[in-house]
Amino acid sequence: MGATIITLGAQRALQTVQARPALDANSLAHFVDPLPIPPIARPSGVHPSPADPTIKVPLYRIEMREFETKLHRDLKPTRQWGYGSSAPGPTFETRSGEGLMVEWVNSLPSKHFLPIDHNLHGAEAGNPEVRAVVHVHGAKTPPDSDGYPENWIVPGQSALSYYPNDQDAAMLWYHDHAMGINRLNIFAGLIGAFIVREEVEAGFNLPGGKYEIPLIIYDRMLDRNSQLYYPVSANPASPWITEFFGDAMLVNGKIFPYLEVEPRKYRFRVLNGANGRFFHLSLANRQTFHQIGTDTGLLPSPIELSSLLLAPAERADLVVDFAGHSGEAIALKSDALDLMQFRVSRGQPHDTSSLPTKLRPINRIAESESVKTRILTLTERDDLVGNAAMMLLNGTRWSMPITENPVINTVEIWNLINLTDDAHPIHLHLVRFLILDRRRFDIFEYQTSKTLRYMGPAVPPEPSEAGWKDTARANPGMVTRIIMRFEGYTGRYVWHCHMLEHEDNEMMRPYEVVASAKEASNDVVAPAQEWCVNGRLQIRENR
C-alpha cells in the first residue's frame, strides 16, 4: 500500500538523490541507540491573556538554536537546528481551554547551511537567508499567532504567540512555516510535539505517564562526514527538487533506535514529520494494535489494525499491547524499512490501564448544513522538458487574489480534484474537518471540457481516518471531499500541500475567514486559464 505512493515526481527526486555522494545509512548498525524522549517544555513565567488581560496564562520562552548531536552511535556529531537545542524540540503539555503564550526567539546563525533556491516565492535573494515563523499544526489560534508564512523573524528577533487551546484533546505539533524555505528549516530540525489534554481522557484509563510516548518519525540523508545532506537538482541556478526521500530513518531524532518496554499496554502518539515520505507502519511480528485517535481528536471507539498509512503531517494515537511477548524484540517497520525496535522485558506484567470499547462520539456535520461547495484543483506545471516546475492549488500562485472567503461559523464542502500523479496531503489551518469520501473521475475529460465525470462509486474514508482531521490525502485521479465549519476567528490563514517541497513551490494559498456573507460575495474566480495540450493540464496566468 505504501509503495503505491512513490510516483513519477518521487522517482525524479530519487534519481537526483542517487546521483549524489552520500552516506549509506542502511550500512549503520540497527537498534544500538536508545530512543530519546523529548523533554517537557516548562513555562518561564506568566503573561496577561490576550483574550482577557485580567487572567494570567503561562509564558514559555523557546529559542531556536544551532547545535550538534549524534544521530547514531557510530556517527560523528551532526549540525542541526532545533527548538531549545534539541530536535525534536520540547513537548508542550497543555489542557483544553487553558491558554498559553510562547515567545519564539530566533537565535539561529545568519547564514543557512542548506541549499536555498532563490527562484521560489518568498526565498528571493533580497530576503535574509535565515528566517523563521512557528505554526502549531492543528491549533485553533488567532491569525496573528498562526504562523502565517510571510510573518517571519530573523536572528536576533522574537515573536509572541497566543494559543487558546480551545479544542478537543489531541496531539498537535509545531514546526517552521517560513515562506520558500520551510522544507529546509524543518529538515534542519525545527519540529516538536504539542499535546492538548482533557479530563475526559482520565476517565478512559488509557496508558499514561512513562507508558505514553511520542514517536516523531522522519527520514533524512547524511553525507560521509555525518552532516545533513539535502540534495539539489542538476541545475545549479534552480536547486529545488520535486520531493525528498532519505535512507536514514529517525525516530525522535535517532537513527534506528530501540525502546525497552514492559509486557503491557503502551500509548504511542505518532507523527509523520517527514518532508515527503509516506509511512506504512506495521510490527514485524505481525501483531495487531489499536488506533484510538486521528489528527485532532479521539475516535468513537478503538480500531484494530495490522498496518497504518500516515502521510506527511498526519498523526495517529495508538495503543500497542506487548503482553504475551516477554523477551521478544519487535521491529516497527514501514514496508521493508526498519524504523525502530521494541525490546520487551521478561517478567509478569503490571498493567492497570484499559482499552475502552467506547471513546468520544463524533458529532458529524450534515452535508445539508453546507452553504457552499467549492471545486478546487490540484495541478502540476511542467517546464519545457517535462520536469515538474511547480505545483498549484486551484490554478493559482501564492501572490494571486484570494479565491476562498468562507464566512465565520458556516459550513463548506471542498472538492479536492487531483489532476497529478502524486497523493497530496492537504492541510487547512484553523479548522478541523471530516473526510466525506473519495471518488475516481475521468481526468482527460475534466482537462478537456471541465466536466467532472465519475468513474466509480464514492468510497468512504478508511476507518483509520474517519475521525477529526486537519490533513487529508488527496489521492491521484480522485475527488476527495471534506466538510468543515469555519469557527473561532476571522482573518487570513492558509491551506496547502504538506509535502514540503510542493508547499515551498506554489502549492500553498491564503484564504480568509470573513465576518459576513457580504464580504464573502467578494470571492473571485481564480485569475488563470487552464487548457490541455497533448493530454496534460497547462496553466496560463491572466494579465
Residue 501, helix vs strand vs coil: helix
Q: What is the pLDDT of residues 108-124, one digit of tens each?
A: 999 999 999 999 999 99
| HSE value, Cβ hemisphere, 13 Å, CA-based, for 194 | 26
Give the residue ranges of the chain where pLDDT is below 70: 1-21, 383-388, 521-543
The domain ranges of the chain are 29-202, 211-344, 367-541
Task: Look up residue 40 and give its three cell numbers.
Answer: 517537557
The sign of the CA dihedral 483, 487, 490, 495 is: negative
Q: What is the pLDDT of residues 447-489, one digit of tens each?
A: 999 999 999 999 999 999 999 999 999 999 999 999 999 999 9
Give the distance, in angstroms, between the CA of residue 360 and the centroid of all CA atoms in the same chain. 24
**pTM of the predicted model as reported, rounded to 2 decimal places:** 0.92
Which CB contacts under 8 angstroms, 24+ apart, belong to 78-82? 78/222, 78/226, 78/227, 78/228, 79/113, 79/227, 79/228, 80/188, 80/189, 80/228, 81/108, 81/185, 81/188, 81/189, 81/190, 82/189, 82/190
Beta bridge partners of 462: none
For the domain spanning 367-541, the CATH number is: 2.60.40.420
Residue 35's alpha-carbon distances to 64, 257, 310, 315, 330, in angstroms, are 23, 5, 21, 19, 14
Rounded-to-integer distance, Cα 359 and Cα 110, Å = 48
Looking at residue 523, what is its pLDDT?
60
Rounded-to-integer distance, Cα 120 and Cα 444, Å = 30
Rounded-to-integer distance, Cα 187 and Cα 228, Å = 8
Specify the residue for cell string 524555505.
181
Rounded-to-integer distance, Cα 83 and Cα 478, Å = 38
Looking at residue 383, what is its pLDDT?
62
Specify the residue for cell string 517541497.
501
Structural contact between residues 326 and 346, judged by C-beta atoms closer than 8 angstroms:
yes
Give the distance, in angstroms, between the CA of residue 240 and the centroid of all CA atoms in the same chain. 20
Beta strand ranges found along 165-296 (DSSP E): 170-176, 191-197, 212-220, 248-251, 254-255, 258-261, 265-272, 279-283, 289-294
Looking at residue 348, what is its pLDDT?
85
Helix (H) or strand (E) holding 427: strand 424-428
Rounded-to-integer distance, Cα 381 and Cα 314, Å = 26
Residue type, 529: Q
Looking at residue 7, what is its pLDDT?
40
Rounded-to-integer distance, Cα 338 and Cα 250, Å = 10
- Please list, in sequence order, all residues whose beta carbon lies within 8 angstroms of the beta carbon of residue 352, skipping any fewer than 6 positions away: 205
Hey, do 211-344 and 367-541 end up sharing a CATH topology, with the first three levels equal? yes
Structural contact between residues 50 and 274, judged by C-beta atoms closer than 8 angstroms:
no
Structural contact between residues 244 and 186, judged by C-beta atoms closer than 8 angstroms:
no
Which CATH class, in words, describes the domain spanning 211-344? Answer: mainly beta
189: left (phi over 0), alpha (psi -120 to 50) or beta: left
DSSP secondary structure letters along 93-134 = EEETTB-EEEEEEE---SS-SS---TTSTT--TTS-S--B-E
Specify the residue for cell string 512555516.
177
The sign of the CA dihedral 394, 398, 399, 403 is: positive
Residue type, 435: I
Rounded-to-integer distance, Cα 55 and Cα 51, Å = 8
Rounded-to-integer distance, Cα 272 and Cα 253, Å = 13
Task: Look up residue 75 and give its three cell numbers.
Answer: 556517527
C-alpha torsion angle, residues 255, 261, 266, 268 (rounded to 10): -10
Rounded-to-integer distance, Cα 57 and Cα 89, Å = 21
Rounded-to-integer distance, Cα 63 and Cα 59, Å = 13
| Max CA distance (Å), the chain | 73
Residue 141's alpha-carbon distances to 314, 430, 491, in angstroms, are 19, 6, 11
Give the fold, CATH level 3, of 29-202.
Immunoglobulin-like (2.60.40)
Residue 483's alpha-carbon distances to 16, 162, 493, in angstroms, are 38, 27, 17
Looking at residue 6, what is its pLDDT?
35
